[in-house]
Every structure is written in structure tokens, then in C-alpha cells.
Amino acid sequence: MSSRELTTTSYAILGLLAVKPWATYDLARQMTRNLHFFWPRAESNLYAEPKRLVADGYARSRREATGRRARTVYEITPSGRKALERWVLEPASDFRLEAEPLVKLMYAMHGTKEALLDHLHECVAEGEARRQALRAIFAEYVAGDDPFPERVHVNVVCYRFIWASATALRDWATEMIGIVEQWPGPTGPADREPSIAALRELLAS
């Protein structure tokens, strides 16, 4: 009962526990599979978080044996359920995007045109990779293989956002590659007009 403020990561785990009891490893699996797209956390952190939930009285743990091996299974408590319900009703904090590739792009003039294009190709690859990962998940749903049918509709709402983001990333990068390829170098074209024209077009949209 250390009564600290729970973090979003805590609630992410707690939300999983609200569905059913999980072993730590499966919690981590589930997190990296689903929430990783919009709440990425290191695995070690996922192993630590349930312990904190127990310390705060939001979860209970019990030891089980799988074969020769001990595993800890966590289960949500009524108090945990209440905390979760309270939390989802509160307003959420803003989206937060950290995009190092964009920072590098921003300072691309201090590098080479090839490096600039490399970064953009990386963006295309990342967008494409996410779409692939999502395709695999979607296929399971379509095949009826999803473990929690009662959650399908909410999950799909989330997935559609990730899909849209990944697609936007890929398409943007693809278009930018076409443009940058025509620059004489990373310092760009002497003429600012095409860039300004692009902005004018966005303003009109």
C-alpha cells in the first residue's frame, strides 16, 4: 500500500489483468503484441510493474508451477478494478510523438543527400513493417482466432488508428523521396518556390 500515483504503464497492465489473470511472461507478450504500437515499454519494466501493483493492493500474485518451473500469476483485486474504472473516465494526456528520424532530417543539410534519402527509406520501411505486423494480427481476427471476442470492437478502433498512422508515414516518406531525389544536394534547391507552393496547397486543403 505504498499509495504512489499509478503511471499509465501501471494502468496498461491493470487493464490486461481486468480481462483475466496472467503470468508475467504472458503479460509482457500481450503488451509487446498489442500495446507496443502506442505504449512502447521495455520488457524489464513490464516485469517490474505487476509487483508494484501488488504492493499497492491493486493485484494479487500467486505462484504456480509449469513443469519444473515456477511462474507468478497475477490477478486483479476489486480495488484494482475500481482504480481502473476511475482512470478511464479521467481525461487523457496528449499524444506524444518522438521521431528521431525527423530531427535528423531537420538537420540534414549538415550531412549528405544520401544520408537524407537513407532516413526517408528507413521511414518507408518502418511504415511498411508496421503494416505487415498489423496484417498478421488482422488475419487472426478475420480467421476468428482472437482470444477475447468481447473486446474486438474496441481493439479494432485502436488498430485502425495505428494502421492509418503507419500508412501516413509510408506515404509521406515515399512522396518525400521523390522530391528529395531531385534536389542537387542536402542544402536543397536554390529555389524556395516549390516548397512554399506545397505549404500553400496544404493551407487550402
Partner DNA sequence: TCGCACATGTAAATCGTTACATGATTAT
Partner DNA sequence: ATAATCATGTAACGATTTACATGTGCGA
111 binds its own copies (CB under 8 A): yes
CA 80, 81, 85, 91 dihedral sign is positive
The one of DNA, its own copies, none whose footprint includes residue 128, by CB under 5 to 8 A per kind, is none
Give the up-direction half-sphere exposure of residue 121: CA atoms within 13 A in the CB hemisphere.
Answer: 7
37 near its own copies (CB under 8 A): yes
What amino acid occupies position 110?
H
Sign of CA dihedral 55, 57, 63, 66: negative
Of the ranges 9-17, 20-28, 53-61, 67-75, which one interacts with its own copies (CB under 8 A)? Answer: 9-17
Selection from its own copies, DNA, none that 202 binds (CB < 5 to 8 A by kind) is its own copies
Grouping H, G, I as helix, E, B as strand and the rest as coil, residue 186 is coil
Q: Which is nearer to its own copies, 5 or 100 (CB)?
A: 100
66 scored as a contact of its own copies (CB under 8 A): no
Query: Which cell numbers hold the place of 149?
Result: 471476442
Q: Residue 159, interface with its own copies (CB under 8 A)?
A: yes
Residue 145 CA neighbour count, 13 Å, CB half: 7
Nearer to DNA, 64 or 171 (CB): 64
Task: Determine, following the binding rule CB under 7 A, whether residue 44 of this chain makes contact with DNA.
Answer: yes
Nearer to DNA, 3 or 182 (CB): 3
Q: What is the CA radius of gyration of the chain?
A: 22
Cell numbers describing residue 178: 521523390
Site for its own copies in 129-148 (CB under 8 A): 134-135, 138-139, 141-142
